[in-house]
Amino acid sequence: MVWFGCWIALLVVVGGGTTVVQVGGANVSYDGRSLIIDGQRTILFSGSIHYARSTQDMWPSLIAKAKQGGLDVIQTYVFWNLHEPQPGQYDFNGRNDIISFIKQIQQQGLYVSLRIGPFIEAEWSYGGMPFWLHDVPGVVFRTNNEPFKHHMQNFTSKIVNMMKEENLFASQGGPIILSQIENEYQNIEGSFHDDGRQYVNWTATMAVGQNTNEPWMMCKQDDAPDPVINTCNGMRCEETWKGPNSPNKPSLWTENWTSFLQGYGDDTPMRKAEDLAFHTTLFIIKMNGTFVNYYMYHGGTNFGRTSAAFIITGYYDQAPLDEYGILRQPKYGHLKEMHAALKQCLQPLLYGDLAIENLGQDQDAYVYTTSSGECAAFLLNNNTRESVEVEFRDTQYHLPAKSISILPDCKLVVFNTAMVSTQVSTRSRQPIMMFSSSQQWEAFSEIVPQFDQTSLRSDGLLEQMNTTKDTSDYLWYTFRMQNNFSEAQPMLRVNSNGHVLRAYVNGALVGSEHGTRKVTNFIFENTVSFSNGINNISLLSVMVGLPVGAFMESRRAGLQEVLIQEQNFTSYLWGYQVGLLGEKLSVYTNEGSRNVTWSQYSSPRTLTWYKTVFDSPSGNDSLALNLGSMGKGEVWINGQSIGRYWVSFKAPSGSPSQTWYNVPRSFLKPTENLLVLFEEENGYPLNISLDTVSVNKVCGHVSDSHPPRVNPWGVHHPYPWRPMPKVHLWCPHNRIITRIIFASHGNPSGNCKRYSTGKCHSPNAKHVVEKACLGKRRCSISHTKETFGGDPCPGTPKTLLVDALCE
Ligand SMILES: *[C@@H]1O[C@H](CO)[C@@H](O)[C@H](O)[C@H]1NC(C)=O
Ligand SMILES: *[C@@H]1O[C@H](CO)[C@@H](O)[C@H](O)[C@H]1NC(C)=O
Ligand SMILES: *[C@@H]1O[C@H](CO)[C@@H](O)[C@H](O)[C@H]1NC(C)=O
Ligand SMILES: *[C@@H]1O[C@H](CO)[C@@H](O)[C@H](O)[C@H]1NC(C)=O
Ligand SMILES: *[C@@H]1O[C@H](CO)[C@@H](O)[C@H](O)[C@H]1NC(C)=O
Ligand SMILES: *[C@@H]1O[C@H](CO)[C@@H](O)[C@H](O)[C@H]1NC(C)=O
Ligand SMILES: *[C@@H]1O[C@H](CO)[C@@H](O)[C@H](O)[C@H]1NC(C)=O
Ligand SMILES: *[C@@H]1O[C@H](CO)[C@@H](O)[C@H](O)[C@H]1NC(C)=O
Ligand SMILES: *[C@@H]1O[C@H](CO)[C@@H](O)[C@H](O)[C@H]1NC(C)=O
Ligand SMILES: *[C@@H]1O[C@H](CO)[C@@H](O)[C@H](O)[C@H]1NC(C)=O
Ligand SMILES: *[C@@H]1O[C@H](CO)[C@@H](O)[C@H](O)[C@H]1NC(C)=O
Ligand SMILES: *[C@@H]1O[C@H](CO)[C@@H](O)[C@H](O)[C@H]1NC(C)=O
């Protein structure tokens, strides 16, 4: 979830209600109907791709795929805590090279929507705030607070000035057409009362004062001051949003969620292509939508410790481009076809008048007509269960349940949101390298620190983030005490603000407990056995990302209260160790691994570092580590962290929230790659495998009722192009179709997930399809009786379904 506010501030208001931005290159402005670029009204499709969540080598192909998918704009956040890790020390290198990312978007001819924030939420650690901001005297985040405003303005100016120096704003001839300040601030504005309102006002004024000469937006901010544009984030903006807060502002959807965020313990959230297409189209035709951004278009990976509390490492893998940048079909292709269909309607949509004609109880025609007679119609069936036949202008149309048909000439249907004709592709992971020999692994166990070995002391329990300063997920809380309990097994009770606790008595594990994404607090309770005399209690408190949201500077993590039976150790003498020994010695790097003595792997142990080396697999398929046999920890490849993992925390379905972890090829060298894991539980490294990730199965499905399709391979045939429905199949670049698993022309039942032949079935269907497809990377089969040498059942509506293997 991305809570943020988007504003689009406009620069100059001209007569007739048009707000204009001063320009040198493209002139970006808006009015109540739409964004206006160089005098032309426009409808823009945008997709979020975050530079820091992929590797630099992926950027060109991600941008190219976005363009092929019919996007006009790439939207990204700016990650303050990556760029200014210490006050005044900036980092714009490698994955942080936002300038290069924006220039590459420009080179490929797309626009940029820049969400500066600088608070961004984004399921990113601390919502993008650098941790040092927490220690600025008197700071209160995101309200009318001078220290905060000073640093917020400083960073905003830094970014805007960098963009200006590189001429990246549209008014300078660059690609940036929109900028955002703050992020979903409305969610917390009320908590700050009048200060909240004043902060919004200050924020808008500060942003507009940056003189970018183009609109600013605030998302989820219904009171965004003029000329900043308020925008919608959500799943169904046409239903849930009140719209622009002024008749002079257009409707922008800054976050159309293609799926949803996922935390450890959550199952994978799904959003179907049909649902996404339905609500996007409805936003455009019903709300005067002029900008729709898919959040995310490519989610990518939360490398290192960059994810927010409990958020998994793979980010929005269900987006149209998956974590690895592979097309997720049919979502990608279905949206692409929708974009092409809607772009055929631009004239009437943007310059015409709307008339809504009722076609039935839950059916309406949205008809846009220009004075010169151009016409586009959208036939809506808002009934979620029943498909219907409707009559529109003397023609019968079939409308599936909850769908919209797009008729760019008010006659021919070129797209229906519920009829997916794009192939369904199935991603598979194939183990390519096992690490199953104990000879391959070496181990180094963390030392459980005892009170006597700690140097940081306090008469009480310290807040975790303020103690670690986010240099580590780990903080040891230790104390020692005389065993004077009458019970043989006294009860140890720990109340924690989160996120995970591992309790040790005299160096032995006595139990673990953890919170969840929604409720980070938890209570640990277990009976323990003490030795006679002095005992050492060591409590490891582990965070899985910093919090996001409101009042972050005063949020607490770590231990809150510790009791043994009725004795209260909360205000006792505690000793602390920040981080792990292995972290301090950098044992996950090539050089640092020599700082400790590793031993041959023998058996699974808790709090243990494991290391091995491997050669890079040949080819260029994406790679992922299958960590299904592990518990919880972090993984490094050649010293770079690919993120936290947590497979022992099962989702309601019983599966881990994430089992496979992305290994970018750019992190690898040809031979001797160092793989290091830190495992907190007793995971079993011998079952880890390195897998290739690729599409190995493709399936297509069309019916007589399908509208003709937009050419799937890039060229949008101008209307009125109307081919026969076809099944188009295509394998990834390095694969060909080696087997037809299923082919039926007739009335097969089911869909690409599950199917069987029906009563009506062309006997030679499989043969015909094999002839057309085997040995090829791409093939298409027309859904006509001629293709199959005759009609197997005249009068019955027919379907063609083909499922094929790519190898
Ligand atoms: C920018 O576009 C607006 C609206 O189309 C127009 O009124 C204004 O004159 C243009 N400004 C420049 C500098 O071209
Ligand atoms: C931001 O702060 C730094 C250090 O305090 C200062 O050097 C710099 O000039 C400021 N930048 C802006 C754009 O205000
Ligand atoms: C917003 O700020 C402007 C300029 O500082 C001021 O004139 C105006 O009264 C403020 N509005 C609110 C609601 O605080
Ligand atoms: C949101 O996206 C879905 C699919 O991506 C689309 O159907 C829907 O129309 C979009 N909504 C808006 C308002 O763009
Ligand atoms: C859409 O724009 C037209 C023309 O500006 C306006 O009359 C209409 O009220 C707008 N509709 C909505 C839902 O905002
Ligand atoms: C469709 O139906 C839903 C639920 O009944 C309703 O909330 C929504 O406003 C309807 N949409 C349209 C465009 O009629
Ligand atoms: C953070 O720690 C410092 C001492 O290092 C202390 O002075 C300060 O009060 C602490 N702040 C919070 C919020 O705990
Ligand atoms: C047991 O030891 C604790 C400190 O370790 C002390 O506070 C407490 O009074 C002792 N209780 C008895 C019954 O001696
Ligand atoms: C507790 O720690 C101290 C110092 O590290 C050690 O001497 C002592 O043996 C430990 N006690 C137990 C019961 O392990
Ligand atoms: C334990 O001590 C802490 C701090 O001294 C106090 O806040 C807490 O209420 C005590 N707990 C119990 C059960 O007495
Ligand atoms: C760990 O190894 C690195 C590289 O060999 C070295 O620079 C560093 O000083 C070592 N650290 C410790 C604490 O030994
Ligand atoms: C993989 O290799 C093939 C041919 O060797 C090339 O066409 C393709 O672009 C490469 N893909 C990537 C993602 O590098």
Q: Is the dihedral of CA 758, 761, 767, 773 positive or negative?
A: negative
- Give percent helix, percent strand, percent coil of the chain, each to the nearest 5: 20, 35, 45
Q: How far apart are CA 517 and CA 599, in angstroms?
A: 36
Res 9: pLDDT: 29
The pTM assigned to this predicted structure is 0.92
The DSSP-derived string for 152-210 is: HHHHHHHHHHHHHHTT-BGGGTSSEEEEEESSSTHHHHGGGHHHHHHHHHHHHHHHHTT
| Radius of gyration from C-alpha coordinates of the chain | 29
3-state secondary structure 749-793: EECCCCEECCCCECCCHHHHHHHHHCCCCEEEEECCCCCCCCCCC
The DSSP-derived string for 416-470 is: ETT---SPEEEEEEEEEEE---GGG-EEEEPP---GGG--EEESSPPPHHHHHTT
- Give yes or no for a contact between 449 and 577, defined as CB atoms under 8 angstroms apart: yes
Helix and strand element counts for the chain (H, E): 13, 46
Under the banding of pLDDT at 50, 70 and 90, the label for residue 707 is: low
Q: Ligand 10 centre from 563 Cα, in Å?
A: 8
Burial (CB < 10 A; 0-12, 13-18, 19+), residue 488, is exposed
- Give yes or no for a contact between 299 and 123, defined as CB atoms under 8 angstroms apart: no
Q: Which of 186-200, 449-463, 665-679 has the lowest mean pLDDT?
A: 186-200
Res 270: pLDDT: 84
Buried b (16+ CB within 10 A) or exposed e, 715-738: ebeebeeeeebbbbbbbbeebbbe
Summarize the confidence of residues 188-213 as an average pLDDT: 95
- Give 571-620 pLDDT, tens digit per residue: 999 999 999 999 999 999 999 999 999 999 999 999 999 999 999 999 99
Structure tokens at 388: 């219907």
Res 706: pLDDT: 63
Atom of ligand 3 nearest to the CA of 198: 14
CA atoms within 13 A of residue 562's CA, in its CB half-sphere: 23
Instruction: Report the chain's mean pLDDT, rounded to a whole number.
Output: 92
Q: Is the pLDDT of residue 625 over 90?
A: yes
Sheet holding 508-514, edge to edge: 456-458, 574-578, 474-482, 534-542, 500-505, 508-514
User: Which residues form ligand 6's pocket by a CB distance below 6 Å?
Assistant: 239, 282, 286, 382
Q: Is the pLDDT of residue 704 over 80?
A: no
Q: Which of 18-32, 319-333, 662-676, 782-796 has the lowest mean pLDDT?
A: 18-32
Burial (CB < 10 A; 0-12, 13-18, 19+), residue 620, is exposed
Res 671: pLDDT: 98
Res 461: pLDDT: 98
Q: Is the pLDDT of residue 36 over 90?
A: yes
Res 389: pLDDT: 93
Q: How far apart are CA 476 and CA 450, in angstroms?
A: 9
Q: Which of 88-92, 239-243, 449-453, 659-663 has the lowest mean pLDDT?
A: 239-243
Summarize the confidence of residues 143-171 as an average pLDDT: 97
Res 111: pLDDT: 97
Q: Is the pLDDT of residue 330 over 70?
A: yes
- Give yes or no for a contact between 327 and 320, defined as CB atoms under 8 angstroms apart: yes
Summarize the confidence of residues 96-112 as an average pLDDT: 97
Summarize the confidence of residues 540-564 as an average pLDDT: 95
Q: Which of the listed residues 454, 481, 504, 506 should we mutate to test ligand 9's pocket, taking the one with most ligand atoms within 8 A of CB?
A: 506
Query: At a CB cut-off of 8 Å and minimum separation 6, what does 804 contact?
Result: 697, 698, 699, 729, 737, 739, 740, 741, 769, 773
Q: Ligand 8 centre from 224 Cα, in Å?
A: 60
Active site residue 184: yes
- Give 720-768 pLDDT, tens digit per residue: 334 467 899 999 988 999 999 999 999 999 889 899 999 999 999 999 9
Q: Is the pLDDT of residue 1 over 80?
A: no
Q: In Å, what is the CA distance from 741 to each residue of 453, 550, 772?
A: 64, 53, 14
Structure tokens at 453: 């070995």
- Give 298-327 pLDDT, tens digit per residue: 999 999 999 999 999 999 999 999 999 999
Strands 111-117 and 176-181 turn out to be parallel
Q: How far apart are CA 472 and CA 470, in angstroms?
A: 5
Tokens 């600013």 sit at which residue? 216
Atom of ligand 9 nearest to the CA of 533: 13
Q: How far apart are CA 312 and CA 322, in angstroms?
A: 15
Q: Is the pLDDT of residue 524 over 80?
A: yes
Shortest-distance ligand to the CA of residue 291: 4
Q: In Å, what is the CA distance from 690 to each residue of 106, 199, 434, 626, 683?
A: 36, 50, 6, 6, 16
Burial (CB < 10 A; 0-12, 13-18, 19+), residue 784, is middle
Under the banding of pLDDT at 50, 70 and 90, the label for residue 548 is: very high
Strands 12-14 and 18-20 turn out to be antiparallel
- Give yes or no for a contact between 401 and 418, defined as CB atoms under 8 angstroms apart: yes
Q: Is the pLDDT of residue 473 over 60?
A: yes
Highest mean pLDDT among 19-28, 128-137, 775-784: 128-137
Residue 718 region by backbone torsions, left for phi larger than 0, else alpha for psi between -120 and 50, else beta: beta
The full set of domains in the chain, from first to last, is 43-343 (3.20.20.80), 345-419 (2.60.40), 421-426+688-704+724-807 (2.60.120.740), 436-445+584-687 (2.60.120.260), 451-579 (2.60.120.260)
Res 335: pLDDT: 96
Summarize the confidence of residues 643-666 as an average pLDDT: 97
- DSSP summary character for residue 321: B
Summarize the confidence of residues 85-111 as an average pLDDT: 97
Res 25: pLDDT: 64
Higher pLDDT, 588 or 270: 588
Q: How far apart are CA 59 and CA 65, in angstroms?
A: 10
Summarize the confidence of residues 618-630 as an average pLDDT: 96
Q: In Å, what is the CA distance from 768 to each residue of 18, 20, 461, 493, 780?
A: 59, 59, 74, 70, 11
Q: Is the pLDDT of residue 235 over 80?
A: no
Q: Which of the listed residues 283, 293, 328, 349 should we mutate to test ligand 4's pocket, taking the one with most ligand atoms within 8 A of CB?
A: 283
Q: Which of 284-288, 362-366, 579-583 has the lowest mean pLDDT?
A: 284-288
Q: Which candidate in 182, 238, 255, 583 is catalytic?
A: 255
Number of Cβ atoms within 10 Å of the Cβ of 763: 12
Res 35: pLDDT: 95
Atom of ligand 9 nearest to the CA of 530: 13
Atom of ligand 5 nearest to the CA of 31: 5
Say what angle helices 331-343 and 273-286 make with each other, to 10 degrees. Answer: 20
Res 386: pLDDT: 95
Tokens 């539980």 sit at which residue? 681
Q: Is the pLDDT of residue 135 over 70?
A: yes
Summarize the confidence of residues 350-376 as an average pLDDT: 97
Res 666: pLDDT: 97
Higher pLDDT, 264 or 366: 366
Q: How far apart are CA 787 and CA 486, in angstroms?
A: 87
Res 7: pLDDT: 27
Question: What are the backbone angles phi and psi of residue 263, rounded to the nearest 5°?
Answer: -105, 165
Q: Is the pLDDT of residue 2 over 50?
A: no
Active site residue 389: no
| Euclidean distance between the first and the last CA atom of the chain, given in angstroms as a whole number | 37
Summarize the confidence of residues 249-262 as an average pLDDT: 80
Bridge partners for 353 per DSSP: 369
Q: How far apart are CA 181 and CA 224, in angstroms?
A: 10
